[in-house]
Amino acid sequence: MSSYPQISLSGKVALITGGSSGIGRAIALKLSQAGAKIAILDIKECESLLNEIGRDKARFYRCDVTSADEVREVVRSVYEEFGRIDIVVNAAGVIVRKDAVETSEEEWDKVLNVNLKGPFLVSKYSIPYMIRGGGGSIVNVASGWGLKGGPKAVAYCASKGGLINMTRAMAIDHGKDGIRVNCVAPGDVDTPMLRSEAEQLGMKWEDFLREAANRPLARIGKPEDIANAVLFLVSDMASWITGATLVVDGGGTA
């Protein structure tokens, strides 16, 4: 039963990348609680999540979002199995905590490919199916560092800034198709990726956490905080919102 009974996604099918852990996992749970059936695209298995949602309501598809061939075939499989695609959430992401001099070309390519090319490919191959169903909603998971710069994250900041403006461009192009395209811009959220940042920077988690919590609401985010925002954006409550960036960061960019 949905924790937000006024929001129903009953009859909808949501395709979520990076859904096996972190923010993507929380989004998958939240949208399923609102009644949506869930297609999880990831390179990591998610047996416990499938059991939690219910195997009659969720499927896992192994997919490298940087591969056009894989994305095209997996999206087609999702459509053939579920019969429709109404919601796409691009939540897969990676980060390298290095400045421009330290970042290798290989690291730059990996971050841009996962964080920017991935959402492009998943959207490219999903939109025609969404149009068949009469429209839908796409939400890209960006970052506060897509709106402002951050230290030692040059590739990540570039990818998320590009994702925010790609969101705007897609909203302009596909409004006529009944497809709304928005993004959320989280601040620091307690996920495996955030913990990897502390490791990359050589910081103890306790010290990193103390620094990250230095914001008006005095805590880092929970994956559920971002999932709540995504639920709103894909619901009918946001029916006149497209091309928008919803910042969910406890006031970190205020």
CB 19 within 8 A of CB 36: no
Provide the percentage of residues in the chain whose pLDDT is more than 90: 97
The pTM of the full predicted model, rounded to 2 decimals, is 0.95
**Mean pLDDT throughout 17-40?**
97
**What digits encode the pLDDT tens for the residues 241-252?**
999 999 999 999
The least confident of 24-33, 92-101, 208-217 is 208-217
**Mean pLDDT throughout 204-210?**
91
Rounded Cα distance between 168 and 186, Å, is: 17
Residue 32 lies in a domain: yes
> Which two three-digit tokens encode residue 109?
């390519």
Residue 61 lies in a domain: yes
Q: What pLDDT does 36 receive?
A: 98
pLDDT exceeds 90 at position 27: yes
Q: What pLDDT does 4 receive?
A: 54
Q: What pLDDT does 128 receive?
A: 98
Residue 184 lies in a domain: yes
Q: Which of 61, 125, 129, 156 is catalytic?
A: 156
Residue 212 lies in a domain: no
Residue 111 — very low, low, confident or very high, per pLDDT cuts 50/70/90? very high
What are the backbone angles phi and psi of residue 14, rounded to the nearest 5°?
-115, 125
CB 156 within 8 A of CB 163: no
Residue 144 lies in a domain: yes
Does residue 172 sit in helix, strand or coil?
helix
Residue 97 lies in a domain: yes
**What digits encode the pLDDT tens for the residues 123-141?**
999 999 999 999 999 999 9
CATH number at residue 144: 3.40.50.720
Q: What pLDDT does 242 receive?
A: 98
pLDDT exceeds 60 at position 2: no
Residue 3 lies in a domain: no
pLDDT exceeds 80 at position 1: no
What DSSP state is assigned to residue 113?
A: I
125 catalytic, yes or no? Answer: no
Residue 104 lies in a domain: yes
**Mean pLDDT throughout 103-111?**
98
Residue 6 — very low, low, confident or very high, per pLDDT cuts 50/70/90? confident
The amino acid sitting at 146 is: G
Q: What pLDDT does 3 receive?
A: 56
pLDDT exceeds 80 at position 162: yes
Rounded Cα distance between 137 and 14, Å, is: 9
Structural domain of 79 = 13-188+222-239
Overall number of domains in the chain: 1
Q: What pLDDT does 5 receive?
A: 56
Q: What pLDDT does 117 receive?
A: 98
